[in-house]
Copies of this chain bind each other. A is one copy, B any other.
Amino acid sequence: MEKRKIRVIQYGLGPIGLGTTKLLLTKPDMEIVGAVEIAKEMVGKDLGEILGMKALGVHVTDNAERLFAKVQADVVVHTAGSRLKRVAGQIEEILRGGKNIVSSAEELLFATPENVEAAAKIDKLAREKGVTVLGTGVNPGFVMDALPLALTGVCQEVREVHVERVVDAGTRRYPLQRKIGAGMTPELFREKVAEKAMGHVGLRESLYLIADRLHFILDDVRETVEPVIAEKPLKTDYFELKPGDVAGIRNIGEGFRKGKKIVTLDLRMYIGAENPHDSIRIVGTPDLRLRIEGGVAGDQATAAILVNSIPSVIAAAPGLVTVKDLPAPWCHQA
């Protein structure tokens, strides 16, 4: 008897959602049984046609509640926002529909102090409905949290954790280049930072997850968002930068204990970054230094980790869980 396929609803059809959709279509033991998106130009269309492929018989709807009532599914892949404030309503609607969730929402990774209540509400609803919610991705979800924590698995003691991620944004898609402020003046960039309209979402979540798991009691947590300024003319498929323009962002999260910096998450994403890489330094017994040359490629990897996390999320006990509560995903190949 052939095993039943894993039935997936794709919720959100932005770049990450479309990437996940394409990847799901390559997995012989998974099938897409529904798609949710509010963008008017997609509603009612066939998902395959949106991707420029043959029709899949799955039509995009903006009525999630009705879809959940009508369609049996094992899991919803949710890629429709970063902030808990923005996505909590969507997550709760999916849970009321009785579906497991793998979400790319950065703030779902871990409940930082300001999100404890919203996370508790999601956790309670998930338990009532007997389903599991996981927030994951490459960052947060892997490079700056799950991977350094996995490294500490071979440590007798850990005193400090420092992670550096340098991404050459010049090789990435347009929305990302825009998001990091490429082409802005430094003044505009700083104004946007002051309005909290700038900066990678998820650094706080990674930092608090690390501190929680290692029982690091932090007495100060600091975050800074600074522009990286172009030093020479730079050109991408989308932008031409003059020296003095903003080339991208440097976002640092730091955790302190008694004045000593014991966690650093240093994220630099800018056009023209040289020697892109991810590196992790664990100060402990033993010390460890790890480097991923070139770094983990963002968009391919995000779709991958969302899809690869599906089997564990389906198998997991109910509730809002973290990437460190489940087996670390591996590439799902049937």
**Residues of A participating in the B interface, judged by any CB pair closer than 8 Å:** 23, 26, 138, 142, 146-147, 149-150, 152-158, 213-215, 284-286, 288-294, 296-297, 300-301, 303-305, 307-309, 324-331, 333-334
Contacting pair B288 A291 (CB below 8 A): no
Given contacts A150-B150, A156-B303, A308-B153, contact A331 B214 (CB under 8 A): yes
Contacts of A292 in B (CB 8 A): 288-290
Question: How far in angstroms is the closest Cβ of chain B from A281?
Answer: 10
Closest to A300 in B: B286
Closest to A147 in B: B150
Contacting pair A154 B296 (CB below 8 A): yes
Question: Main SS of chain A's interface residues?
Answer: mixed
Contacting pair B296 A331 (CB below 8 A): no
Contacting pair B286 A301 (CB below 8 A): yes
**Candidates B152, B303, B305, B308; contact of A331 at CB < 8 Å:** B152
Given contacts A289-B292, A289-B293, A324-B327, contact A300 B156 (CB under 8 A): yes
Q: Which of A294, A331, A333, A334 has the most CB of B within 10 A?
A: A331
**Candidates B214, B307, B333; contact of A330 at CB < 8 Å:** B214
Question: How far in angstroms is the closest Cβ of chain B from A97?
Answer: 27
Contacting pair A150 B286 (CB below 8 A): no
Contacting pair A154 B305 (CB below 8 A): yes
Contacting pair B300 A331 (CB below 8 A): no
Closest to A137 in B: B154
What 8 A-B pairs have minimum CB-CB distances, sorted nearest first? A154-B301, A152-B331, A153-B329, A286-B297, A150-B328, A149-B330, A328-B328, A155-B331
**Candidates B289, B293, B294, B305; contact of A153 at CB < 8 Å:** B305
Given contacts A156-B300, A158-B333, A324-B327, contact A291 B290 (CB under 8 A): yes
Contacting pair B331 A324 (CB below 8 A): no
Question: How far in angstroms is the closest Cβ of chain B from A226?
Answer: 27
Question: How far in angstroms is the closest Cβ of chain B from A101?
Answer: 18
Closest to A329 in B: B153
Question: How far in angstroms is the closest Cβ of chain B from A184?
Answer: 29
Contacting pair A330 B288 (CB below 8 A): no
